[in-house]
């Protein structure tokens, strides 16, 4: 064994962890990306994520079908997104502040209704074993890929394609880039933003269901570690490009997997420091990527955080 073996173990654990940890990031960031492309920011996705996680778990427990749980999580995400989209439509209502309020409301409501689901064990999402070719059990375990990860990947590609090549993509982009231009084209700006926030909420809810139904795989109040918020930074880092969101989600997943990976080879010193890695990474990315002098490339001009 020696150092090489240890390094391989760490890398393998990080790879497996990156795929596992990145899935909720991927869905929330795609939802946030869609919302922001339409010119609004939804900071409430953290609340949506937690409430989605609770709903998905509860439904999986009651019906025995984790996929129904995923669907239900998405639907409650829609409701949260629609509330945000509707309230922000009203004049003088600030989308950032409403987002914070919905974040607190969503987590509070999830804790409220989630109390009875902390103990029981619900059916989890099955994984697809892609590591059958290897004899190494560690490799096999690392390649147990969740179908949601694969769906998320194709969703990212589809969104990337749709933004460029479809009429709907053009409508969303125009709405996000210039309200007057969109109005001149006869687009109902408020409705586009409402729909974009609602669909974005659906994705965030699905991302939440991954947390409770796959990894970590049970419902608890400390389930989310702020993925819904970090997604906002992640979208900025990805410059509002869905494909880049996929890459950024993997990077964040790897950063989040660093602590547990090192712990698996006995390096527990500084575990909490490595836990902080994704947040420090996000902050560093923001400091480097954003500039007060010029607008970011790819940024929707109607977005309040980049104005």
Binding residues (CB under 8 A) for another protein: these are 43, 83, 87, 90-94, 96-98, 100-102, 104-109, 111-112, 115, 225-226, 229-230, 232-233, 269-270, 272-273, 275-276, 279-280, 282-283, 286-287, 290-293, 305
- In the bound state with another protein, the residue whose beta carbon lies nearer, of 167 and 307, is 307
Taking the complex as a whole, how short is the minimal distance between the CB of residue 129 and another protein, in angstroms?
34
C-alpha distance from residue 254 to each of 210, 262, 269 (Å): 17, 12, 19
Taking the complex as a whole, how short is the minimal distance between the CB of residue 293 and another protein, in angstroms?
8
- In the bound state with another protein, the residue whose beta carbon lies nearer, of 116 and 129, is 116
Taking the complex as a whole, how short is the minimal distance between the CB of residue 239 and another protein, in angstroms?
15
Taking the complex as a whole, how short is the minimal distance between the CB of residue 268 and another protein, in angstroms?
10
- In the bound state with another protein, the residue whose beta carbon lies nearer, of 207 and 256, is 256
Phi, psi (5° rounding) for residue 71? -65, -45
Measured at the alpha carbon of residue 206, what is the angle toward residues 201 and 209, in degrees to the nearest 5? 130
Q: What is the DSSP string of 135-162?
A: S-HHHHHHTEE-HHHHHHHHHHHHHHHH
Taking the complex as a whole, how short is the minimal distance between the CB of residue 269 and another protein, in angstroms?
8
* CA 295/CA 221 separation, integer angstroms: 38
Which tokens hold the place of 103? Answer: 């974040």
- In the bound state with another protein, the residue whose beta carbon lies nearer, of 126 and 270, is 270
Which tokens hold the place of 109? Answer: 């409501």
Which tokens hold the place of 151? Answer: 């769906």
- In the bound state with another protein, the residue whose beta carbon lies nearer, of 43 and 143, is 43
């Amino acid at each position: 064994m020696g150092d090489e073996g240890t390094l391989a173990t760490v890398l393998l654990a990080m790879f497996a962890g990156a795929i596992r940890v990145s899935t909720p990031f991927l869905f929330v960031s795609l939802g946030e990306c869609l919302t922001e492309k339409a010119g609004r920011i939804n900071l409430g996705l953290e609340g949506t994520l937690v409430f989605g996680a609770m709903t998905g778990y509860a439904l999986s427990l009651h019906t025995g079908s984790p996929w129904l749980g995923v669907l239900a999580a998405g639907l409650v995400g829609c409701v949260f997104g629609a509330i945000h989209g509707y309230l922000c439509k009203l004049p003088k209502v600030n989308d950032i502040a409403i987002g914070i309020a919905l974040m607190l409301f969503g987590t509070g409501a999830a804790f409220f209704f989630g109390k009875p689901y902390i103990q029981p064990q619900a059916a989890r999402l099955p994984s697809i074993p892609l590591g059958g070719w290897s004899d190494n059990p560690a490799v096999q375990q690392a390649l147990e890929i969740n179908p949601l990860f694969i769906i998320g990947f194709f969703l990212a590609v589809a969104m990337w394609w749709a933004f460029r090549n479809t009429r709907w993509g053009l409508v969303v982009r125009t709405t996000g880039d210039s309200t007057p231009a969109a109005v001149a084209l006869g687009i109902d700006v408020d409705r586009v933003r409402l729909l974009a926030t609602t669909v974005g909420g659906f994705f965030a809810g699905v991302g939440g269901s991954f947390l409770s139904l796959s990894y970590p795989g049970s419902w608890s109040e400390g389930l989310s570690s702020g993925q819904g918020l970090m997604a906002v930074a992640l979208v900025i880092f990805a410059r509002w490009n869905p494909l880049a969101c996929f890459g950024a989600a993997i990077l964040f997943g790897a950063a989040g997997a660093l602590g547990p990976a090192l712990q698996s080879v006995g390096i527990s010193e500084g575990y909490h420091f490595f836990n902080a890695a994704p947040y420090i990474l996000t902050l560093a990315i923001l400091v480097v990527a954003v500039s007060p002098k010029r607008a970011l490339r790819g940024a929707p001009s109607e977005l309040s955080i980049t104005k």
